[in-house]
Amino acid sequence: MIVVASVPAAHPYVRAITDPETVVLLDDPRPVGATSPDQWWPPRFLDPRYLAEESGYFDVMHVHFGYDSTPPAVLRDVAAVLAERRAPLVVTVHDLHNPHFVDSREHLARLDVLIPAADAVVTLTAGAAAAIAERWGRRVTVLPHPHVLPLSGIGAARPEGATPVVAVHAKSLRANIDPLPVLDALLTAGEPGWRLRLDVDDDVHRSPRAGVLTAGRLDELRRRGVDVRVHSRFTDEELQEYLGQIDALVLPYRFGTHSGWVEACYDAGIAAVVPACGFFHEQHGDPTYDYRADAGLVESLRHAVREGLDLAERRRANGLDRRAQRERQLRDVRTEMTSLYRTLLSDADVA
């Protein structure tokens, strides 16, 4: 068995790509001053002193995310400790532009340490791999994101509505989410065959941009015909139910790289309508719109949503095939990840 210290470990994606038959995933060390039992941030595995003195035994460290608050100098010290221990470092680049911060420079400064120091670099799409190769000159392994919904929910029967529902989810208004221009454009498009829905997490008041979605603004959208729903963050079961109620989900992202919502839409047999930035389109070939089009945003969205609704019909028609494909994909990703770990450990033994 290969013992892996993952940053983090307690995350659905990390659990998904880990083959329990071949890999032991260490629990996240409890952070100093943690306020909840499941808190994994800030990651103690990114504390060089803890790593050197108290972290226990592991074969490989695998960094995914959670290093936002770790300064580049500290990440260099972490890499030095791992090199001294001859423990390979794997870095999966989920985000080239952190969706929580408008300014990407600090995130890139951290990647400027992690990617050159890594013994192997992984990402989710060929486009992201090309961007990494161009900036850092690294060879990158591309492993697609596995399924998000339970396999039993992929290809499950969906209620058939008379009018397609085109949805936008503002979540908690993190930095890259700007739903109002998208909603205004969809309303201006005035397609009588669509119903528009907006969902907002009820902790949006904690966002520095909470003023974007005031109660008055939400009431205005309701008057214009948008089905506005404010609620707590979806549980896994509620997310699956939500995706079963809509036909296309327009992602209102100003910037970003990849999205788990694209994966969830694919699993649910609906379309994600994605911005042309980042590599969202490469995940499953969903239709794109140009957020930068300004005056052309209405036509860009109208065309992309129409394409998305057609795509959703085709996806619903082959649900069981998609379930089988996702099951095979998960096995393949786990096998390839284990093979990558073994290769690195073999190389470390030779060195």
Contact 164, 195 (CB under 8 A): yes
Q: For residue 106, what are its two tokens?
A: 């600090």
Please tell me the predicted confidence (pLDDT) of residue 32: 86
**Which residues 6+ apart lie within 8 Å of 148 measured at CB?**
12, 260, 263, 264, 267
CATH T-level topology, domain 151-317: Rossmann fold (3.40.50)
Please tell me the predicted confidence (pLDDT) of residue 351: 57
Domains of the chain: which residue ranges? 2-144+328-350, 151-317
Contact 324, 310 (CB under 8 A): no
**DSSP code of residue 39:** -
Domains 2-144+328-350 and 151-317 in one fold: yes
Please tell me the predicted confidence (pLDDT) of residue 291: 85
Distances (CA, A) of 243 to 114, 191, 249: 36, 21, 9
Mutual angle of helices 105-117 and 126-136, in 10-degree steps: 80
Which residue type occupies 86? R
Please tell me the predicted confidence (pLDDT) of residue 47: 96
Please tell me the predicted confidence (pLDDT) of residue 275: 97
C-alpha dihedral, 95 to 100 to 106 to 112, nearest 10°: -10
Please tell me the predicted confidence (pLDDT) of residue 135: 98
Q: What is the mean pLDDT of each run of 10 residues along the chain (351 residues)?
A: 97 97 96 86 95 88 96 98 96 98 97 98 98 98 98 88 93 96 94 95 92 94 98 96 97 97 98 97 97 84 97 93 97 98 89 57
**Which residues 6+ apart lie within 8 Å of 279 measured at CB?**
124, 125, 127, 128, 257, 258
Contact 218, 200 (CB under 8 A): yes
Superfamily of domain 2-144+328-350: Glycogen Phosphorylase B; (3.40.50.2000)
Please tell me the predicted confidence (pLDDT) of residue 34: 85
Per-residue DSSP letters for 94-162? --SS-TT-S--HHHHHHHHHHHHH-SEEEESSHHHHHHHHHHH---EEE-----SS-GGGTT---PPPS
Q: For residue 146, what are its two tokens?
A: 């596995």
Please tell me the predicted confidence (pLDDT) of residue 56: 75
Q: Single out the residue of 224, 193, 199, 171 nearest to residue 309, CA to CA.
A: 193
Distance CA 202, CA 86 (A): 46
Contact 205, 230 (CB under 8 A): no
